[in-house]
Amino acid sequence: MKFPPTYTKTASIEAALLELEALKKAFFYLNLPPQTITYLRRVSILKSSLYSARIEGNPLRPEDVSAATVASPHSQAKQEVANIARAFSYLDTFGNQPITIEFVKELHRIVLDTLSGSAGYLRQEESAIFNQAGVAVYLTPAPQKVRTLLNEFLMYCNADGGHAAVRAAVAHIWFEKIHPFEDGNGRVGRLLSQAILGRQGYDLGGVVPLEEYLDTYRQAYYDTLARDTTDVTAFVEFFLDALVAQAKKTLEQAMIPVPAHRVELLPRRAEILDVIGDHRMISFDGIARRFRAVSVGTLHFDLTQLAKGGYIKKLGSTRGVVYVPAEEPVKRVL
């Protein structure tokens, strides 16, 4: 494949950009409270991290992942998700600074932390991209060309002009074709696209889990991404369709009132409260089985704080203790 990629601004692309602009204005017109944005952002990061990992073959499902998973992963599959979540947090600290090779390498280091000895290092070997049948569908550039190609790619990412959503799409497929790392290129490429979208607010403040759509339509994503052609119009169209679909879904969810405890509480305590609410009455052992990565002492402290806040009630004593939801919790941040 020759670089840089080119695309044609089709009627489909024009329509998607108009719709995206309308969705962006509608979302920010809602003027949601900061605590609601924070909650939606937490949910989006967890979804993006899970689905980005799933695209690469991770077997975890939504019900397998929680804030506790990210805080204390205890399997390789959960470590993959936790690493991507940490990389999203790194994006937040980076802000609108120019994207550099060192920034890209740091994203890669975080994504593959404890998972690969090549974390943070550019590819030094010849490589290829294979389809699901194991057939090589694309031969990547020679390793000695990677740094030069990355510099050209970063000039495009950092340039002014053009629509951020189109830039994010072109940047994603361009990055994958350079294939600068031995592993983790897909995860890092999707993170870079999110960074580009965020610069002009087309991630709606970081609450659009684009990766959920990409995983749902994984085969179409693979097919358009794998094409060995300089004209990437088909991929840009697919990427924009994904972004519009997820932005619509986010807008619909944003108009549904968030349960008060989900906004007020720390993520793990909100999840504990949900577990108690689902069971209506549950023992400490029952709660602990749902939060195996959290220490007994920490769980006891969380339950004490929830009781003090008026969210739950503790019934019984010693080994017969059970927890039930309070009828009318006192609203306070814990």
* 285-310 pLDDT per residue, tens: 999 888 877 889 999 999 999 999 88
Q: How many domains does the chain have?
A: 2
User: Do residues 85 and 27 share a domain?
Assistant: yes
Domain boundary pick from 234, 254, 274: 254
Task: Specify the CATH number for the domain of residue 307.
Answer: 1.10.10.10
Residue 334 forms part of a structural domain: no
pLDDT truncated to tens, each residue of the chain (334 aa)?
Answer: 788 999 999 999 999 999 999 999 999 999 998 888 988 998 999 999 999 999 999 999 998 887 777 777 889 999 999 999 999 999 988 878 999 999 999 999 999 999 999 999 999 999 887 766 777 778 899 999 999 999 999 999 999 889 999 999 999 999 999 999 999 999 999 999 999 999 999 999 999 999 999 999 999 999 999 888 899 999 999 999 999 999 999 999 999 888 777 777 888 888 899 889 888 899 999 998 888 778 899 999 999 999 998 899 999 887 789 999 987 544 444 4
Which among 69, 26, 76 is positioned nearest to 254, based on CA atoms?
A: 26
User: Do residues 270 and 192 share a domain?
Assistant: no
User: Do residues 298 and 185 share a domain?
Assistant: no
> Other CB atoms closer than 10 Å to residue 55's CB: what's the count?
17
User: Do residues 173 and 292 share a domain?
Assistant: no
Residue 331 forms part of a structural domain: no
pTM above 0.75, yes or no: yes
Q: What is the residue range of 270's domain?
A: 260-325
Report whether 223 contacts 234 (CB < 8 A). no
Residue 333 forms part of a structural domain: no
DSSP label at 184? -
Domain boundary pick from 211, 237, 254: 254
Residue 128 forms part of a structural domain: yes
Residue 330 forms part of a structural domain: no
User: Do residues 157 and 279 share a domain?
Assistant: no
Task: Specify the CATH number for the domain of residue 147.
Answer: 1.10.3290.10
User: Do residues 89 and 233 share a domain?
Assistant: yes
Buried/exposed 285-323: b ≥16 CB within 10 Å, e otherwise:
eebeebbebbeeeebeebbebbeebebbeeeeeeeeebb
E strands along the chain, which residues?
A: 128-130, 136-139, 282-283, 312-315, 322-325
Residue 84 forms part of a structural domain: yes
Greatest C-alpha distance within the chain: 71
User: Do residues 191 and 57 share a domain?
Assistant: yes
Domain boundary pick from 217, 237, 254: 254
Strand-pairing partners, residue 315, are: 322
Report whether 157 contacts 171 (CB < 8 A). yes
Q: 3-state class of 282 per DSSP?
A: strand
Q: 3-state class of 163 per DSSP?
A: coil
User: Do residues 244 and 97 share a domain?
Assistant: yes
User: Do residues 36 and 127 share a domain?
Assistant: yes
Return d(Cα 45, Cα 67) in angstroms, integer. Answer: 10
User: Do residues 235 and 317 share a domain?
Assistant: no
User: Do residues 105 and 247 share a domain?
Assistant: yes
Residue 167 forms part of a structural domain: yes
User: Do residues 196 and 264 share a domain?
Assistant: no
Q: 3-state class of 321 per DSSP?
A: coil
Residue 332 forms part of a structural domain: no
Q: Residue 132: what pLDDT?
A: 67
Return d(Cα 208, Cα 253) in angstroms, integer. Answer: 11
